[in-house]
Structure 1
Amino acid sequence: MGNQASVPKPGTKFQVIGAGLSRTGTASFSEALHILLDGPVYHGGTQTTMGHPVEIRSWIKLLSHWPPSNEADKKLVFQILRERFNGYAAATDAPTSGLVKELIELYPNAKVICTVRDPDAWVKSMEGVSNAATMWFLRVVLFPLPGMRHFVDYINALREQWLYLYGEREPVTRQTYNQHIEWLKETVPEGRLVFFSVKDGWGPLCKALGKEVPHIPFPNINDGEAIERFARLMVKRGLVRWLAIFSTLGIAIISYFYM
């Protein structure tokens, strides 16, 4: 998760489908792609939580019609994908990682790159994200915040996507990670799929994209710390909004009865 949502740049060619699961270095990967492709990158975690409310609402709508069971559903799914990724050079993180089948059809010339990490470390990392996303009070606390009031519904939609693809929601296990890798190998045409660890730096990524190695350090963004900071910030903002609402309501009631 980056520090702020990216802004689309009209006319940008879509070049990379980020197929790596969340918590596999997708934030660092996104920044690296931004540098190499010289264009905005759509990082799902950042765009849905820090972008305009239409972002998160669009994904909830798409996932409610996914996997498409008829031509009308397929048309809607592809329409939303075009709208969300128009003006971006690449897309990473959820829900992109679970929509690879649709994206390789929509962008037949795009490279598919899956960020990877040690499966056991990934499982441990996902535990914290899952716990934070399932706190019972989130729906109430976040309700005053446009966009974020839909966060719980969005997470639930992602859970259904994972259940369909991997047969489990949470707690996640190595099975989810391994099934994702096998699903990509079965889904992506030969020659279009690349596996990449952000620990390996510029070399392998630049080779896969046919780019020169930049003369700057490879981006290092700690997704876990960013998620924790964001969660604290959103809860704080939600509580402040509720305080303002109740304060305004209290003043209105006092004014009505005593003035």
Structure 2
Amino acid sequence: MPPGIFAAELLDFYPGAKVVLNRRRDMDAWHRSLNEAAVTVLGSWGLWGLSWWDAELFWWYRSAVLWMGIMGKGEGGFQKNGKEWAERYYERLETKLRREGRKYLDWEVKDGWGPLCEFLGKEAPDEDFPWGNKGGNEFEKNANKALEKMVQRAVMRIAGTVVLIAAGVGGWSWSR
């Protein structure tokens, strides 16, 4: 279950926690990227079927369905409503934090170590910030690599099940 769904509850549960609002400032780019990924993943009946054969793929797929359902509530789905939902989401969190007098860091990955370490009261490491998604199709490459492993496991389980059933039917037929 994506923790962002419970952000307000997590803020209540951890009143002393330092809060980092990690967001993309270019909401158009964020929306476009997520929408393309969602169309690819959620538009695949094959992926849905395979998800029943691998626990990680099952929950990954269900998480995507859940997020797209929440962010895309209303006519037009995520494509029409997702960006507005995300903007309101951050506004609600900022309003809650300000109302409670809590400090928070409005941060984006491309800001790097500096503001993050300063906010957390830590020294910045002597290494470059680990950019997992450098833009372009980097996210797609990483997602596809993870997805490929999950799909391979599902296919192996299906193949194993088919072999087991075939052996059982063959053994039963031979014994008759």
Scaled by the length of structure 2, what TM-score is found? 0.80
Paired position in structure 1 for 2:78: 170
TM-superposed CA distance for 1:119, in Å, is 0.8
Paired position in structure 1 for 2:5: 98
Q: Paired residue for 2:14, among 99, 104, 107?
A: 107
| 8 Å contact from structure 2 (residues 19, 105) kept in 1 | yes
| 8 Å contact from structure 2 (residues 38, 64) kept in 1 | no
TM-superposed CA distance for 1:249, in Å, is 0.7
Please state if 1:143 is matched with 2:52: yes
| 8 Å contact from structure 2 (residues 21, 105) kept in 1 | yes
Q: Secondary structure at the match of 2:102?
A: coil
Please state if 1:199 is matched with 2:106: no
Change (3 A) 1:96 1:192: farther
| 8 Å contact from structure 1 (residues 162, 168) kept in 2 | no
Change (3 A) 1:128 1:160: closer
| 8 Å contact from structure 2 (residues 113, 129) kept in 1 | yes
TM-superposed CA distance for 1:160, in Å, is 4.3
Across the aligned residues of Structure 1 and Structure 2, the Cα RMSD in angstroms comes to 2.4
Q: Secondary structure at the match of 2:45?
A: coil
Scaled by the length of structure 1, what TM-score is found? 0.56
TM-superposed CA distance for 1:153, in Å, is 3.6
Post-superposition Cα deviations, 1:78-121, rounded to whole Å, max 9, x if no partner, equal: xxxxxxxxxxxxxxxxx222312101111111111111221111
Paired position in structure 1 for 2:172: 256
Q: Which shifted more, 110-119 or 149-158?
A: 149-158
- Mapped to 2, the partners of 1:126 and 1:202 lie a distance apart of 25
Paired position in structure 1 for 2:136: none
| 8 Å contact from structure 1 (residues 116, 195) kept in 2 | yes
| 8 Å contact from structure 2 (residues 20, 107) kept in 1 | yes
Write the letter of the residue equivalent to 1:114.
Answer: L
- Mapped to 1, the partners of 2:13 and 2:116 lie a distance apart of 23
Paired position in structure 2 for 1:121: 29
TM-superposed CA distance for 1:213, in Å, is 1.3
TM-superposed CA distance for 1:147, in Å, is 4.5
Change (3 A) 1:146 1:100: closer
- Mapped to 2, the partners of 1:199 and 1:167 lie a distance apart of 33
Post-superposition Cα deviations, 1:207-230, rounded to whole Å, max 9, x if no partner, equal: 111111111111111243221111
- Mapped to 2, the partners of 1:173 and 1:163 lie a distance apart of 5
Q: Which shifted more, 184-193 or 120-129?
A: 184-193
More helix by percentage = 2
| 8 Å contact from structure 2 (residues 38, 68) kept in 1 | no
Give ranges in structure 2 of 5+ residues lacking alignment.
134-138
- Mapped to 1, the partners of 2:104 and 2:90 lie a distance apart of 11
| 8 Å contact from structure 1 (residues 168, 176) kept in 2 | no
Give ranges in structure 1 of 5+ residues lacking alignment.
1-58, 60-94
| 8 Å contact from structure 2 (residues 69, 78) kept in 1 | no
